[in-house]
Amino acid sequence: MSDQLRSIGFIGAGKVGGTLARLWHQRGYAISAVYSRTFAHARALADAVGAEAVDTPEAVIAASDLTMLVVPDDQIRPLAEQLTLRSRSLMGKAVVHTSGALDVRALESAAAVGASVGSLHPAFPFADVETAVLNLPGAAFAVESEDVRLRGWLLGLVASLDGQVVAISPGSKVLYHAALVIASNYTVTLYALAERLLMSLGADRAAAEAALNPLVTGTAENLRLRGIPDALTGPLVRADVGTVTEHLRALEMVDMDAAALYRQLARMTLPLAAARGVSLDALMRLLAQEEENENDHS
């Protein structure tokens, strides 16, 4: 493998592949070849980044120092095995996937025939290529590779996007990904629950969103500027036991699951309130009593 990263190929022309290829092309990296399940998608991306659209994954490997395997998680291992079966040796080649949940072992078949392997996970929600191209620069990336030269390439690629590197210890990738899912995906779940509750009171969707969007973006901004625990607002940080009790009673009238979730989240918020100097005695007594009532009813 040359010290210089001369060419990057892509297997998978979806949201993540389409974004990374475009951004690295803009930053001056040579994108050599693109293969995807649907040839028209490979061609569209290849045309956008001055690459060749090819009709086999092996052709990407042949044309590239570094091949990015940017396909759904459950396709990564089978594709790596397919590449391994068809190529006697991948010596001198690097293969990297972008999954958050899988670690580098998903590519062990490629490593067994000489490839340098790694993973590069952008901690970013790719809803579509256009907005991701605008907003990905500056994001954090989990970088994993034991190969010094490949690790250097990956750190260079992250730096080209003004990215931050998240250090995670070996074997911790699944927990790392679970943490990101809690922050990103379940924010959407909580938003949907709040929207449903507001709409059950007669608000239409536009009015519910008008109420929720400034709260969510304001909270994200407070987290960015002030961090934890200062971004926390609301009844717990005021030790407002009466309000929390009334919230629980109101939720129990319409949705027992929502009430149980509220109780659980309140319990998990207590350490943050304590870090803000709130005395927890009354809140803890309330939540313990609520837990007892919950157990009696179950």
Ligand X SMILES: NC(=O)c1ccc[n+]([C@@H]2O[C@H](COP(=O)([O-])OP(=O)(O)OC[C@H]3O[C@@H](n4cnc5c(N)ncnc54)[C@H](OP(=O)(O)O)[C@@H]3O)[C@@H](O)[C@H]2O)c1
The region, left, alpha or beta by phi > 0 then psi within -120 to 50, assigned to residue 91 is beta
Q: Which amino acid is at 170?
A: P
Distance of closest approach, residue 116 Cβ to ligand X, in angstroms: 19
Tokens standing for 216? 């969510």
Nearer to ligand X, 62 or 231 (CB): 62
The answer to whether residues 107 and 80 touch, using CB atoms and an 8 Å cutoff, is: yes
Least distance CB 123 / ligand X (angstroms): 7
The nearest distance, CB 129 to ligand X, in angstroms, is: 9
Q: Least distance from C-beta 124 to ligand X, angstroms?
A: 6
Q: Which residues bind ligand X (CB under 6 A)?
A: 11-17, 36-38, 41, 70-73, 75, 79, 98-100, 121-122, 124-126
Largest Cα–Cα separation, the chain:
70
Q: What's the chain's Rg over C-alpha atoms? A: 24
Q: Alpha carbon of 204 to those of 192, 209, 250: distances in Å?
A: 13, 9, 20
Question: Please, which residues bridge with residue 69 across strands?
Answer: 11, 97
Burial class (CB in 10 A: 0-12, 13-18, 19+), 127: exposed
Q: Are 236 and 278 in contact (CB under 8 A)?
A: yes
> Minimum distance from CB of 121 to ligand X (Å)?
6
Q: Which residue is nearest to ligand X (CB)?
A: 14
SS3 294: helix
79 vs 244, beta carbon nearer ligand X: 79
Q: Of the two residues 129 and 259, which places its CB atom closer to ligand X in the complex?
A: 129
Query: Closest approach of Cβ 40 to ligand X, in Å?
Result: 8
Amino acid identity of residue 251, one-letter, is: L
Q: How far is the CB of 84 from ligand X (least distance, A)?
A: 15
Helix (H, G, I), strand (E, B) or coil at 233: coil
Q: Using the 8-state DSSP alphabet, how is residue 29 labeled?
A: P
* Minimum distance, C-beta of residue 66 to ligand X, in the bound complex (Å): 16
HSE-CB for 100 with a 13 A CA cutoff: 17
**For residues 144 and 160, what is the distance between their CA atoms, to the nearest angstrom?**
17
